[in-house]
């Protein structure tokens, strides 16, 4: 009889161990499933889909702190493209300038006013000149705030009979600002200066 009770006790212990193993495994699987689910939801929240025609393009939303240098350079590049890309159309020039002014402080408006007073934009319009900019490099010193930056670029001025290649070196400071529809990167350029804007080459156009 004692042997029978012993067998029953052993069976109960084995059943209990098996039950604990199953319950423990279920808990681990549940915890992993919950963690994985939250991780996937978090990743999906950082994904943005942009409609372009009939295609959905995916973009990834990241924290500014992940790579601030990239966003700073993109902001500087965007400003230069808006400010120094000119067409012989007064409305187009004003439209680009108004967009550029959101990305910089009053030093950009002061530079615009100086160029306007010197007749630069009037000459662009009257001479049917198209001015484009090619940015060669941008350097940003992230060791102190506000960040100091320097930009090297070339301009091409397309006239009826000639193409002028002009050197362009600018520098200034850049600080954090609030993101908005008019300032997607959330930075503001300060103390904008044009250090060099010499003609490098003038070529006759082959018509």
pLDDT digits (tens, 9 = 90+) for 50-64: 555 555 555 555 555
Dihedral of CA 62/67/70/76: which sign? positive
Q: Which residues 6+ apart lie within 8 Å of 132 measured at CB?
A: 85, 155, 156, 158
Same domain, 164 and 74: yes
Contact between 187 and 176 under an 8 Å Cβ cutoff? The reply is yes
Residue 1 scores a pLDDT above 70: no
Range of the domain at 154: 64-204
Least confident among 31-40, 43-52, 102-111, 133-142: 43-52
Same domain, 116 and 83: yes
Mean pLDDT, to the nearest integer, of 75-88? 97
Same domain, 42 and 98: no
Closest CA to 104 of 84, 123, 87: 84
Q: Is residue 157 part of a domain?
A: yes
Q: Which residues 6+ apart lie within 8 Å of 175 measured at CB?
A: 145, 146, 147, 187, 188, 190
- Based on the structure, what is the number of domains in the chain? 2
Same domain, 17 and 82: no
Same domain, 7 and 73: no
Q: Is residue 197 part of a domain?
A: yes
Q: Is residue 173 part of a domain?
A: yes
């Amino acid at each position: 009889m004692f042997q029978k009770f012993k067998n029953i006790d052993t069976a109960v212990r084995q059943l209990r161990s098996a039950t604990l193993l199953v319950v423990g495994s279920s808990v681990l699987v549940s915890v992993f499933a919950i963690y994985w689910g939250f991780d996937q939801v978090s990743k999906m929240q950082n994904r943005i889909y942009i409609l372009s025609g009939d295609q959905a393009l995916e973009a990834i939303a990241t924290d500014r702190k992940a790579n601030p240098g990239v966003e700073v350079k993109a902001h500087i590049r965007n400003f230069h493209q808006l400010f120094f890309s000119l067409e012989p159309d007064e409305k187009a020039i004003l439209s680009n300038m108004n967009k550029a002014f959101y990305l910089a402080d009053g030093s950009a408006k002061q530079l615009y006013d100086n160029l306007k007073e010197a007749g630069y934009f009037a000459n662009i319009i009257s001479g049917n000149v198209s001015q484009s900019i090619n940015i060669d490099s941008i350097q940003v010193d992230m060791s102190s705030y506000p960040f100091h930056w320097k930009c090297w670029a070339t301009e091409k001025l397309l006239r009826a009979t000639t193409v002028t290649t002009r050197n362009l070196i600018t520098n200034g400071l850049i600080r954090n600002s609030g993101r908005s529809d008019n300032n997607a990167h959330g930075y503001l350029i300060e103390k904008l200066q044009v250090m060099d804007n010499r003609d490098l080459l003038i070529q006759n156009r082959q018509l």
